[in-house]
Structure 1
Amino acid sequence: MLIAYWIVAGLLAVFYLYSGGMKILRSKDALRPMMAWVDDMPLAAVRAIGAIEVLGALGLVVPPLTGVAPWLALAAAVGLVAVQVGAGILHLSRREPVWMNLALAAVAGALVWLATIWL
């Protein structure tokens, strides 16, 4: 179970560090080709979503690694499920595909279960 947690958490953390980092650092013009929804949101909201994703990624890895507040890994996994639920709702409202949101929510949901090993 511990090995499974680290594999899934590591992969999810890399994804969210990249995705969130792009939302924090890039302009709307640079994000638009891969994230058309940025036109419908203020830049501050896009940056906030990016910050939430980066914090979620760090929350999956840092607390269990250091042993300080390991319950934060469970909270981070739950938060990332919530991020994908919100993203799925946004994409559905724009009539866009939601397969990636469903897949990421499922992986983060599995990580919720795997994170219970730290509690």
Structure 2
Amino acid sequence: MVEKTGRPGYLQIADDLRSQIRTGALPPGGALPSTAQLCQRYDVSTSVVKAAISVLRTEGLIIGQQGKGVFVREGVAPAAEEPASSEVMEQLAQMRSVLADLGDRIADLEQAVFQERKRAR
């Protein structure tokens, strides 16, 4: 069911279907549920489901076959494992360090500039 979060329903549905594709719950070559089934599952209108399908089609995750249905595009691999959280945390720590260094350098420059102005007065 689509939640009332402020995020459009069609995007919530696209997110859910995308997640199913990435995890392999909807495998490459596999058919998506029919529009009627998706409408019932998410308790939305046909236009909302069609908008979600359009998003996934634009992203290249699915392909429609006239009269047959909508299928997960072949060659769409499940998402690779996320980098280890320690690796991500290390990258964030490095970025914070660089930003702190830049902040210190800017503070030093500002101090030097403003001291020069005080002396000039």
TM-score between the two structures when normalised by the length of structure 2: 0.25
TM-score between the two structures when normalised by the length of structure 1: 0.26
- Higher strand proportion: 2
- Higher helix proportion: 1
Who wins on radius of gyration, i.e. which is larger?
2
